[in-house]
Amino acid sequence: MRQFSVGIIGATGMVGQRFATLLENHPWFHVTALAASARSAGKTYEEAVGDHWLIKAPMPESMKSMVIFNAEKDVEKVIDLVDFVFCAVNMPKDATKALEELYAKQECPVISNNSANRLVPDVPMIIPEINADHAEIIPVQRKRLGTKRGFIAVKSNCSLQSYVPAIQPLMDLHVTKVLACTYQAISGAGKTFETFPQILDNVIPYIGGEEGKSENEPMKIWGHIENGQIVNAVEPNITSQCLRVPVSDGHTAAVFATFEKPVSMEEIIERWESYKGAPQELKLPSAPKQFLHYFHQEDRPQTRLDRNLENGMAVSIGRLRPDSQYTIKFVCLSHNTLRGAAGGAVLLAELLAAKGYLD
């Protein structure tokens, strides 16, 4: 695999910082440009972040003295230095959508952590182990944008990446209904315990927009390409509740699912443990060797013990049981800023690189 020069748009935020640490020693990707808001532009990365470095791993030495570009005004300067960009900006949705299209139309592929373009019919929203084939829509999107290289690909919201992977190996059983209650870490809001004291000894039963994303985005992931667009799946019907809990990292989901074909609990566990997707087949650098891990202990998975499994890129499952209202119930866990955010986007970029879309 050839080496790619990479930019991080939104480098000063929590997800941008996570991108920086993940890319520090990446075998394929080398960071050559950092961009953020006008407030940070012109400063070094170290100066722009100041005391607000939010990741436990230290700021990469190679990036500390890099001068921040203005993400909106220095587009040409950034593009001259990179083969593609990761985007994780904190901007209004319309502004984010316009910014990502601006980079793409200037022949710079965009791998986005943002929600602005997720539901655009020709923008692939990919969990690499589940719907890698949706990358095949990229030529259609390029035609719309009038580009040869430029396109936008997005990762899905972190809230559904705990339970959608666990449902995937069961889909051929005709899953009809899913109830998912997610208990989401404060890093999903870009917070730490120091910056979010109101979460201590507290649970907040509302996260703006999160339940809609949890219920709607899986339908695109499970959809198919038809007539130049991604057509959403019509089943399963999903309902969710999303709560913010006093956990630093790691989203937990309590999941209930109904399906029509009979199957034993042992076979479900075997399906989970043997499941593989394109990242495992291609041996992508960030791919977990085993995507889904089942814990037989009654008190697992736990955020503190299991969120970093396989460098935070695996999904943990436990407590599988028959249910009186649904067919089964179980608990899932994923690391929301690794598998759910920056790590998932890096894995998506690796997938697209391996398939030639970033050439």
Q: Which residues are marked as active site?
A: 158, 251
Name the residue among 40, 48, 46, 50 with its Cα closest to residue 72. 40
Q: 98-103: long-range contacts (C-beta < 8 A, 24 or more apart)?
A: 99/9, 99/71, 99/72, 100/152, 101/145, 101/152, 102/75, 103/9, 103/75, 103/78, 103/79, 103/150
Tell me which residue has tokens 């230290």: 58
Helix, strand or coil, per DSSP, at residue 146: coil
- Sheet of 315-322: strand order equals 237-244, 175-184, 251-259, 328-334, 315-322, 292-295
For residues 122 and 70, is the Cβ–Cβ distance under 8 A?
no
> How many Cβ atoms sit within 10 Å of the Cβ of residue 92?
10
**Residue 334: strand pairing partners:** 251
Q: 356-359: long-range contacts (C-beta < 8 A, 24 or more apart)?
A: 357/109, 357/135, 357/138, 357/151, 357/153, 358/4, 358/83, 358/84, 358/109
For residues 193 and 224, is the Cβ–Cβ distance under 8 A?
no
Q: 70-74: long-range contacts (C-beta < 8 A, 24 or more apart)?
A: 70/35, 70/36, 70/37, 70/38, 70/41, 70/42, 71/9, 71/10, 71/35, 71/36, 71/37, 71/41, 71/99, 72/38, 72/99, 73/38, 73/41, 74/35, 74/41
The tokens describing 132, both together, are 């890698």
